[in-house]
A and B are shown apart, each in its own frame.
Chain A
């Protein structure tokens, strides 16, 4: 057996030792913090535990994707906030991705004006603080839109004023599920058929047209709807008292937050996409051109798939940022998780440690889920090396 000193000089042992020590330090600091918080809370006679989640909330929330009233519990309020966060993050991610791709392609284009415009967009938006953008959108939106009684409208069906965008709501009547099922079946049919078209093209080199199937299935669904007597009706927004009632309301808080998050994140995604596209070897482009492929086909089939490998990891970061940035909504009154739970609930119950722990846990969960999905996607697009 080697002597102790000798053993300590072993590189491998040392590496492990350093890791253990750092782990212990981290663990120690955390436990001291937790212990301190616990004793302080106890000595001040503050309420602890998670039983508050079952108490009545007593406050209202202005965007309700799920049922909620003032009589609901704090837990229900938490769910409302969570769903609102997910709604704005999901829509923001989708929009930011599309916008980001468009801006990136514009920035790479040979067209001078398009190119400059895209550059200006990116340089302005990504160099402004997001909070400023959110305020800008919010106050510009509510100040420039008309008052309720002077609403802009499209033939009295869609209304826009500084209280929001009012859309007609679709009311389901008995039998409507048949149409919904038929619609879903039609969409599945499109996918199956386009898969078949692709395989057919690989085999024979001829490409079948897809549009006749789409048109036919849509006509089919429409005829079916008419046959069973149109089991839908529209609920229109009507002006009554102070506001419009009925229909679907999209609040200006949501609109401005959504717009600010999408535009801001799109400017970063655009740069990621540009770097990805530029990373595709020039030879690939030249090869595509020499095969006589059209520009659009080259972009879709040659450039983007290869660029994706470079784009995905930094884009995941942007998705995570967008989700976390949505917590800035508290400043403009959009009821997302941090505003409702980390704000109102925290204040009404005073249980800062519990509320913030839950909030942090949720954001962590959302971020890790996004990461996981993106990693799986990344694995699938990786170059298979032979």
Chain B
């Protein structure tokens, strides 16, 4: 019995090692092959565009519900500034703004969703920071909304400035630059505070409304937007203080420069069109009759910009036809005609005292 055992042990050991060797070699060969394939796809710009075209729709990461930026309306349609940017890119690629699949992501999940390829484009009020641009492996395509962090407080607290928040408890969402700015602000002003961090914005609002916190902090646009969701919006006010710079914009994966260019120049087309007075309403007429060389280049009548991006030459016309220019997108989602009533402020054109400035399209 023992002898048999010993004998079979030797056999087994030999067999085991040979199988392991074989498996190891074959998996290495397989991996190498895959590696080559991967390198090809990574190096060749256009992998994302090709996969988007092949799928027939754009996978766009948006927020889980921030009125004015990305939220669903009563009929379950996505609306908002970030949503319209997704539609603009879809219009550029497909000449059809409906070819978008929206993926709602939490602040925490959003980067993993983009890194893993679950979405092609992240348009989710995401702040452009150096570490996100570098360490996370992303490229920011531009700024669609210049924001800053502020505080929402109940009116009955009779506070007028954030400097009076010494010792306050502040509610905040985890996984945001907000959390870091909050710490920086109180530290630089030598004030003490307590904070409670929740995973989703909805939990933050519920806790704030229940009086768990004295103040709620996030980007000011988010505060205005969140306030409309509250039971008694008029009991709360946004303090005047702006404690950080929050340039929000669309994000793509680092490495596919063509896709990055498409997103970047879509932003500029929206802004440039506003500057040139090209609107959703007059874009057809302009296309037919304009003699202005700048407008002709914007609409792709002259030059080969669209082709160089790997798109149809009329891509920018498609964007404006289906989505409109930046001013129209802003007014539709955030402006005076909406519940949010946000003024253009920093988001006005550079020529009107804001920061919106498109690089020359030529």
Contact = CB atoms under 8 A, between A and B. Distances in A.
Interface string A146-169: 010000000000000011000000
A32 B168 CA distance: 50
A330 B16 contact: no
Contacts of A36: 34
A119 to B, nearest CB: 33
Contact of B210 (A16, A20, A162, A241): A162
Interface in A239-287: 240-243, 245, 251-253
A346 B108 contact: yes
A46 B195 CA distance: 30
A155 to B, nearest CB: 24
Given A24-B23, A44-B255, A70-B187, A333 B207 contact: yes
A253 B171 CA distance: 13
B294 to A, nearest CB: 36
A348 interface: yes
B235 interface: no
Contacts of B169: 163, 242-243
B183 to A, nearest CB: 4
Contact of A347 (B11, B42, B174, B198): B174
A62 B115 contact: no
B119 to A, nearest CB: 14
A28 B25 CA distance: 11
A344 interface: yes
Contacts of A58: 180, 183-184
A352 B112 contact: yes
- Chain A CB within 10 A, most for which of B8, B198, B200: B198
B168 A243 contact: yes
B31 interface: yes
A58 to B, nearest CB: 5
A43 B175 contact: no
Contacts of B180: 58-59, 348
B163 interface: no
B62 to A, nearest CB: 17
Chain A interface, >50% SS class:
helix
Interface in A325-362: 330-333, 335, 339, 343-344, 346-352
Given A245-B167, A347-B107, A44 B174 contact: no
A35 to B, nearest CB: 5
B155 interface: no
Interface in A62-84: 62, 70
Interface stretch (B131-139, B241-249, B316-324): B131-139
Given A44-B253, A58-B180, A59-B180, A142 B207 contact: yes
Given A62-B196, A343-B108, A332 B38 contact: no
Interface string A30-71: 011001100111011111000000000011101000000010
A121 interface: no
B167 A344 contact: no
B196 A253 contact: yes
Contact of B111 (A24, A70, A347): A347
B211 A162 contact: yes
Contacts of B135: 46-47, 349-351
B197 A24 contact: no
A333 B197 contact: yes
Given A20-B19, A142-B207, A346-B108, A333 B196 contact: yes
A142 B132 contact: no
Nearest to A70: B183
B278 interface: no
A342 B207 CA distance: 22
A363 interface: no
Contacts of A243: 167-169, 194, 214
A330 B109 CA distance: 13
A183 B30 CA distance: 67
* Closest CB pairs A-B (n = 3): A347-B175, A44-B137, A46-B137
19 contacts: A20-B16, A20-B19, A28-B23, A32-B27, A44-B115, A44-B255, A45-B134, A47-B135, A58-B183, A59-B182, A60-B195, A240-B167, A241-B166, A242-B169, A252-B212, A253-B196, A331-B198, A344-B174, A350-B137
Given A62-B194, A242-B166, 14 more contacts: A7-B11, A39-B38, A44-B253, A58-B180, A59-B180, A62-B196, A70-B184, A242-B167, A331-B198, A347-B176, A349-B135, A350-B115, A350-B136, A352-B115
